[in-house]
Amino acid sequence: MRAALLASPASPLVMADVECVDPGPGQVRVQVTHCGLCHSDLTMIDAPEMMTPIILGHEAAGIVDAVGPGVGTLAEGDHVMLSPFGPCGTCYWCVRGEMTLCASAASMFMGTMPDGSIPFSMDGQPVYRGLGVAGFGELTMVAASAAVKIDPDVPLEVAAVIGCAIQTGVGAVLNTAKVEEGATVLVMGLGGVGMSVVQGARLAGASRIFASDPVADRRNAAVAFGATDLLDPADTDVIAHVQEATSGIGVDYAFDAAGAGPLVEAGLAATRNGGTTVMVGAPALEHTVTINPAVMYLTAEKKLLGCLFGGCNSQREVPRLLALWQNGRLDLEPMITARRPIDEINAGLDDLRASIGIRTVFDLS
């Protein structure tokens, strides 16, 4: 199979021929047709100590190519959306409904399958499976629990976007923060995840949605997704603005959708006493957050929440999100602002670095 490979840290991806083994027990091999480009991929590419060679890409959809022993939920030819998390269903976290914290699903950070195996190789040497999906290759291997069967009528490029951006952003609002109707919300960063947070706030019935991003095109696009107030952090004091707009109270919820320590601190300052700040974006490892406990917690009872993948159980969440899309309550097609063949992946990465567009989806079919 052909795959876009990160051969060494902080370098352009290269197209390479990679071998993929047959599926083992509980596994499915999938022909990837589409894969979205997420900022988390860029974070991994630029990490100086990234394990290589590795196939990244974790926002993917495709068609089941082969099923391993013991898989009764999927069959060859099924259309599926792929999740970075393939929960075991029986561990301490799974039985509590915390699927993204499953011990087996944590293999997405290790470059392996949950059983420790690596399904890819090149010239006899292992190729790591990045972020639990390895969607930048024509074939990939996932646990059957990480492949969500979808109706063949659903466009696979649309299904791909659900895989990370939509699940993470909408889930951050509905599952992690549990935003209630009438709440006020601040969203900082309007890439794919941030736009999905905006949509989640709209679905939750938020009364006012402040959307902040330095890119004018993204701010303007956020209106169609539900933003009520647009803020340019380059020339507006976001904290002061939301405080003034809420009569000095502050917003009920703030979301860092860009993955930046300073935005987390801004969220804590912008939220009201008793308010909640949610860390949604994937930050670089060197980012830190400075908190004054007496000000933020002891006297104000402000809350800071981590959010991994929107706290989603994909087998439950994807059908729900698709139903919302089919009912006209969730916008998926407008999230895709560029479509490219996989050979143009480095051009797509350049666009991402320049904050051009919302989501690029690559065609591998």
pLDDT digits (tens, 9 = 90+) for 146-187: 999 999 999 999 999 999 999 999 999 999 999 999 999 999
Q: Are strands 184-188 and 251-256 parallel, antiparallel or unpaired?
A: parallel
Express each pLDDT in 19-62 by its tens digit: 999 999 999 999 999 999 999 999 889 888 889 999 999 999 99
Which regions of the chain carry the CATH code 3.40.50.720? 166-309
Mean pLDDT of 332-340: 96
Measured CA to CA, the distance from residue 102 to residue 341 in angstroms comes to: 34
Q: How far apart are the first and last CA of the chain?
A: 12
The total number of residues written for the chain in this structure: 365
**Do 230 and 223 form a contact (C-beta atoms < 8 A)?**
yes
Q: Which residue in this structure is represented by tokens 């068609």? A: 63
Strand order in the sheet with 125-129: 19-20, 120-122, 125-129, 54-55
**Do 363 and 34 form a contact (C-beta atoms < 8 A)?**
yes
In terms of Cβ atoms closer than 10 Å to its own Cβ (0-12, 13-18, 19+), residue 88 is middle
User: What CATH number is given for 166-309 in this structure?
Assistant: 3.40.50.720
What is the pTM (predicted TM-score) of this model?
0.95
C-alpha atoms less than 13 angstroms from C-alpha of 200 in its C-beta half-sphere: 34
Measured CA to CA, the distance from residue 283 to residue 24 in angstroms comes to: 34
Q: Is the dihedral of CA 10, 15, 358, 192 positive or negative?
A: negative
- The pLDDT score that the predictor gives to residue 292 is 82
Q: Which CATH superfamily is domain 2-153+332-363 in?
A: Medium-chain alcohol dehydrogenases, catalytic domain (3.90.180.10)
Which regions of the chain carry the CATH code 3.90.180.10? 2-153+332-363
Cross-strand pairs, 149: 80
Lowest mean pLDDT among 289-293, 307-311, 320-324, 343-347: 289-293
Q: Estimate to the nearest angstrom the gap between the alpha carbon of 337 and the chain centroid.
A: 16
Measured CA to CA, the distance from residue 269 to residue 274 in angstroms comes to: 12
Measured CA to CA, the distance from residue 196 to residue 177 in angstroms comes to: 14
Express each pLDDT in 337-359 by its tens digit: 999 999 999 999 999 999 999 99
Q: Which residue in this structure is represented by tokens 């904290």? A: 239
| Spatial CA neighbour of 42 closest among 18, 14, 12 | 12
DSSP summary character for residue 26: T
**Do 162 and 321 form a contact (C-beta atoms < 8 A)?**
yes
DSSP summary character for residue 84: S
| Summary mean pLDDT of the chain | 94
Tokens of 318: 């994807």
Sequence-separated (6 or more) residues with CB below 8 Å from residue 141? 20, 21, 23, 27, 28, 29, 30, 113, 119, 120, 129, 134
